[in-house]
Structure 1
Amino acid sequence: METLAPRTKFLVVVTAGGRTNATPLLEIARILSDRGHVIEFATLEGQQVWTQDYPFISRIHILGPNQTAEAEEQAYLQMSRWKLGLNHSFTPIMEARKYLECSWETVYPSLSALVQDPARRPNFIIGDYLVDAVRDIKIEHDIPIAMHWPQMPTNMLPATYIPGAYGLQMEVLTSEHATLWQRLQNYLLGLRALPAYLRYRSWAREQRSRLGIYRSLPNRSKPDHLLLVNSFFGLEPAKDLPPNVIAVGPILSDTYPGLTPDLQSFTAKYKRILYISLGTHALVSDAALRRILHGATLALQTEQSIDGVIWSIRGMAMKQFNLAATAPAQECSISDLVSSANPHIYFCPFVPQRALLAHPSVSVFLTHAGASSTNEAIFHGIRSITIGVYFDQISNAMKLRDAGVSTLLDRDTFTPEQLCQAINEQLSDSTGAFAANCIRLQRIARIASRRKYLAADLIEEALADAEGRKVAGDGRAMHLETADMRMPVWKARNWDLWALGASIFLLGIGVVVAVPLASRMCL
């Protein structure tokens, strides 16, 4: 049976979002490499380190300079002001989007030059959802692509039972148990977002026009390429998908680093540990950090609650802490606490997260609900408390809550007492529902995690289709794209047939009324 030739060249492109955006794509690339294909990686300067655990990568292409640390910090501080609500501005959301897309002006020409060089041109590009330049390359240079999303794509694939724009919802994910007011709020969000969105679109057009590109990217309800979602139904609300959108997550490595000696020692001493990690880029205020510390301290002082805390915090996130302030409910400064003044609280800049989540002494995970942390918590079957900060973290927190494995706290309004109560409720689990749902979701996730091999299969399939269509030269569209995306809306939705049917119906009514009336007039 003829399949793709070995040594086919695949290019993985990731520019923004951090290592967690690159890892799922590199895990799929590992499978393609094992099948004999060539894998190259394209990114911004300084991000080559993301590939250090992937020795199969044959070449790294630098697409341009990276943002400075200062610009990155300011951007993520801006993102941390993200808030969905009828009384909140959408400007921080769109400003965050600008930051994540601002590298387009260097990435697009670099990627264009790469694919126009016969010696470097790839057969297929696998891109992260933040790299719009990959979609430009598909259009201009006829190279098939697959785009990776950490969740079901935002504001795409609408469903009547999902109110508002998917991924930008308030309070509810579906209309099933939503009130009329909640559903209305989600639809009103779109109207409130319109001014900020139009300003963003104007910025995007100006950015593209500076390079002589006056064509906008297609903005349709369904994609015209392969779209791989690093999530699964059970976490995501179930919905109908077109054939070229496939849930293939959670995409996780088969192996992961073990605990460090210090963590081994700490987890050996305590049996009910609260693990806190708000990620690298989710920056919350000093006030929120102190409320978290206060809530954890209250739980430590509660009988039959947690007996230890591990807090992973580093870099920009640690800078938000006022280290000179007195630690809540303790007789030392936060700086002293970070330096291990309290033997029950262990601060560290980095932890091997999967090893910690898998450890039996870790009972509760306080997380920002980032995509990787969400998938890892579910895969290892640990209950969580979520404090979402921005973008997909907000919806992930609701998904975990609705799946019955998490308690959701509002970033701006939660109190230390509420956090302590959430920890105690998670541990006591009086009905057993948290434990049962963690096991249920873990089993689903572990089965679904095998679909990373399906992702590799689909990439090979999409390439086989693209190569065959190019040889045939008959203008055939991608085999997984539904026909309605190539038709006018009136034809795709049969409006002309409905109009014809309505006309015939009205004509029939007219005949029924007119004939007796004409007969009486003749008499």
Structure 2
Amino acid sequence: MSTLIEASEPASCRILVVATAGGLTNAAPILEISRILAARGYHIDFGTLQGQEHFAKPYHFISRVHTLGPGIPIDVEEREYLRMTEWDIAKGFGPVMQTKQFLDSSWPCVYSSLSAIMTDPERRPDLILGDYLVDAVRDMQIEYDIPIAMHWPQMPFMALPASYIPGHAGLQIEVMTSEHATIRQRLINELVPLRIAPAAIRYKRWLRQMRKTAGVHRMLATPRKPDHLMLVNSFFGVEVPKDLPPNVVAIGPVLADEYGALDDEMIRFLEEHRKVLYIALGTHVLLGGGALEKILDGAMSSLRADVIDGIIWSIRGMARRQFDLGAAIRTSSGKHATVQELLDGCNPDFRFLEFAPQRALLAHPSTRCYLTHGGASSTNESVYHGIPTVTIGVYFDQLQNAIRLRDAGVSVPLDKHKFTAQDLSHAIATIMRDDSGSFRQNCQRLQQVAGVASRRKFLAADMIEEVLFDHRGRRNGPDKGRPLHLQTADMRMPYWKAKNWDLSALVGGVTILALGLVVVLPVTLVKAL
């Protein structure tokens, strides 16, 4: 199903942007990169699930929206994200794989819809720019020999290993590198693949059956290095520095040049309060009522102690429903109020918002601390605007982002299962008082680095063009078997040859033979004499 949004002049090349699971957080970065490509004359289409077509409205250059499959029902979304909130990898990885199964469940529809687009000469793109959750894009690369670029919010997990990064990349626990890790921490990370194996095997069986039912009998490979262009929406300073192949490029933080403004009420609130705590736990994070009440209690405790003088909490309807509205919370005045009364605005120093212009709030000088779940967008926006954070990671990359921000010196992380209201108020006080000045210094340092790195979204567009030109030249020339020009040769060689094991064996054999001759020959000559 396709909906024409706005007619546009034909471009030299058509690029299809695809984002399904993950909502606008996953779609926005690749749409921003598409904005640059559209300005260069490329024809941009957008593919997503039903109910998410409105993501394209602010991007007037998009000529056509393709609905790739049904959206996720609200009740299913709420159930699954509540289950994700209960992740506890200390107890096993079964829930993690169940979530991966939920996110991958749209594959049959997306695969079928993309296949229909690829076989239609009027709609077939010259390149697909996809979000990392859309495996069907990689299927299109295999089946239709189309170049692809995949967007990742962080360095890809289970790929690009480094000897000083313990365990599998993207699945680290407690530490991101071995540099200051104890033997226990390193061992815990190295054992993660064994702990995850049973759940991963069940997931692979389900995935294989789903693909087989759709008539696809191959599984997608998970090589150490990709065979396509990979654009990572992060930067070194947050990410652990490591060697990257030419087709993996850190291009983040990808942010829009303009963002929504504060309304008059918010401007007045921020002018009257100079030490504001901003709370936002993302679109999909659904913490249980107990955790939400601890956050309320800890924030109010900070307010009573004059560590902060105002609180703004952005929380959407589905997350609000997790509150116990009758629970009593001690307010900044020392009196008690129910959660419902706080939601209704009974406290002049506390504002609940259904939606907040987040970047405008983070950019305002009155916003001094940010309580976040550590999602990809929130991480990029906090460092770009130089705001220290208290981070409560809930699932997926949020858990690693909490460690990354801690290691960068700009955050105090809290464990979602163990934190108390007192832990939260202490973390806020640690940031606000900043006795050593390290939070201020590191926030300024990282903000400046992020400001420079944010210009690399133009590099992302350049790399996409480069891949297009290379593919067009290979496809139209006599040497059609030539691989992607950015792919390193070791990915097309046997492992033993790429590591020169044969040469090492040859040299070792010759050395042993030579040593043998040196030792044996004199003895033989002496005996002969």
TM over 0.5: yes
- Residues in 2 aligned to 1:7 and 1:397: alpha-carbon distance in whole angstroms: 43
Q: Report if the CA contact (8 A) 1:384-1:406 is conserved.
A: yes
How far off its partner does 1:6 sit? 4.2
Q: Which residue of structure 1 aligns with residue 315 of structure 2?
A: 313
Q: Report if the CA contact (8 A) 2:115-2:140 is conserved.
A: yes
Q: Which residue of structure 2 aligns with residue 500 of structure 1?
A: 506
Q: Report if the CA contact (8 A) 1:84-1:168 is conserved.
A: no
Q: For residues 101 and 320 of structure 1, do their structure 2 counterparts lie closer, same or farther at Cα, with a shift above 3 Å needed?
A: same
Picking from 364, 367, 391, the partner of 1:359 is 364
Gaps of 5+ in 1: none
Letter in 1 for 2:17: V
Q: Which residue of structure 1 aligns with residue 517 of structure 2?
A: 511
Alignment of 1:483 with 2:486, yes or no, is no
Q: Which residue of structure 2 aligns with residue 152 of structure 1?
A: 155
- Residues in 1 aligned to 2:81 and 2:527: alpha-carbon distance in whole angstroms: 80
- Residues in 2 aligned to 1:382 and 1:389: alpha-carbon distance in whole angstroms: 20
Q: Report if the CA contact (8 A) 1:286-1:320 is conserved.
A: yes
- Secondary structure at 2:26 match in 1: helix
How many residues in Structure 1 have an aligned counterpart in Structure 2? 516
Alignment of 1:464 with 2:466, yes or no, is no
Letter in 1 for 2:323: F
How far off its partner does 1:516 sit? 3.1
How far off its partner does 1:155 sit? 1.1
Q: Report if the CA contact (8 A) 2:313-2:352 is conserved.
A: yes
- Residues in 2 aligned to 1:81 and 1:206: alpha-carbon distance in whole angstroms: 27
How far off its partner does 1:520 sit? 4.3
How far off its partner does 1:224 sit? 0.3
How far off its partner does 1:522 sit? 3.4
Report the TM-score when normalising by structure 1: 0.97
Q: Which residue of structure 1 aligns with residue 205 of structure 2?
A: 202
Q: Report if the CA contact (8 A) 2:127-2:146 is conserved.
A: yes
- Secondary structure at 2:167 match in 1: coil
Q: Report if the CA contact (8 A) 1:94-1:197 is conserved.
A: yes
Alignment of 1:292 with 2:295, yes or no, is yes
How far off its partner does 1:71 sit? 1.0
- Residues in 2 aligned to 1:448 and 1:354: alpha-carbon distance in whole angstroms: 17
Q: Which residue of structure 2 aligns with residue 12 of structure 1?
A: 17
Letter in 2 for 1:241: L
Q: What per-residue deviation string (whole Å, max 9, x for no partner) do you get for residues 266-315 of structure 1?
A: 11211100000001111112111111111111111114x10111111112
Q: Which residue of structure 1 aligns with residue 7 of structure 2?
A: none
- 1:363-512 alignment runs, 5 A limit: 363-474=368-479, 475-512=481-518
- Residues in 1 aligned to 2:230 and 2:48: alpha-carbon distance in whole angstroms: 20
- Residues in 1 aligned to 2:330 and 2:286: alpha-carbon distance in whole angstroms: 20
Letter in 2 for 1:14: A
Deviates more, 1:453-462 or 1:281-290: 281-290
Alignment of 1:164 with 2:133, yes or no, is no
Q: Report if the CA contact (8 A) 2:159-2:169 is conserved.
A: yes
Q: Report if the CA contact (8 A) 1:323-1:333 is conserved.
A: yes
- Secondary structure at 1:332 match in 2: strand
- 1:93-104 alignment runs, 5 A limit: 93-104=96-107
Letter in 1 for 2:194: L
- Residues in 2 aligned to 1:145 and 1:233: alpha-carbon distance in whole angstroms: 24
Q: Which residue of structure 1 aligns with residue 326 of structure 2?
A: 324
Letter in 2 for 1:190: P
Q: Report if the CA contact (8 A) 1:78-1:95 is conserved.
A: no
Deviates more, 1:444-453 or 1:75-84: 75-84
Query: What is the percent sequence identity of the aligned residues?
Result: 54
Letter in 1 for 2:322: Q
Q: Report if the CA contact (8 A) 1:293-1:328 is conserved.
A: no
Q: Report if the CA contact (8 A) 2:158-2:222 is conserved.
A: no
Q: Report if the CA contact (8 A) 2:374-2:393 is conserved.
A: yes
Q: Report if the CA contact (8 A) 1:290-1:328 is conserved.
A: no
Q: For residues 68 and 355 of structure 1, do their structure 2 counterparts lie closer, same or farther at Cα, with a shift above 3 Å needed?
A: same
Deviates more, 1:436-445 or 1:505-514: 505-514
- Ranges of 4+ aligned residues in structure 1 off by more than 3 Å: 519-523
How far off its partner does 1:328 sit? 4.7
- Secondary structure at 1:366 match in 2: strand
How far off its partner does 1:167 sit? 1.2
Picking from 60, 67, 75, the partner of 2:65 is 60
- 1:207-246 alignment runs, 5 A limit: 207-246=210-249
Letter in 2 for 1:399: R
- Residues in 2 aligned to 1:192 and 1:401: alpha-carbon distance in whole angstroms: 26
- Residues in 2 aligned to 1:458 and 1:45: alpha-carbon distance in whole angstroms: 30
- Secondary structure at 1:21 match in 2: helix
Q: Which residue of structure 1 aligns with residue 4 of structure 2?
A: none
How far off its partner does 1:519 sit? 3.3
Q: Report if the CA contact (8 A) 1:280-1:315 is conserved.
A: no
Q: For residues 498 and 328 of structure 1, do their structure 2 counterparts lie closer, same or farther at Cα, with a shift above 3 Å needed?
A: farther
- Secondary structure at 1:501 match in 2: helix
Q: Which residue of structure 1 aligns with residue 345 of structure 2?
A: 340
Q: What per-residue deviation string (whole Å, max 9, x for no partner) do you get for residues 403-452 of structure 1?
A: 01111111111111111111111111111110011000000000000000
- Secondary structure at 1:279 match in 2: coil
- Residues in 2 aligned to 1:407 and 1:105: alpha-carbon distance in whole angstroms: 41
Gaps of 5+ in 2: 1-9
How far off its partner does 1:211 sit? 1.1
- Residues in 1 aligned to 2:459 and 2:500: alpha-carbon distance in whole angstroms: 34
Q: What per-residue deviation string (whole Å, max 9, x for no partner) do you get for residues 242-287 of structure 1?
A: 0000000000000001112221121121110000000111111211
Q: What per-residue deviation string (whole Å, max 9, x for no partner) do you get for residues 460-505 of structure 1?
A: 1100000000012421000000000001111111010111111112
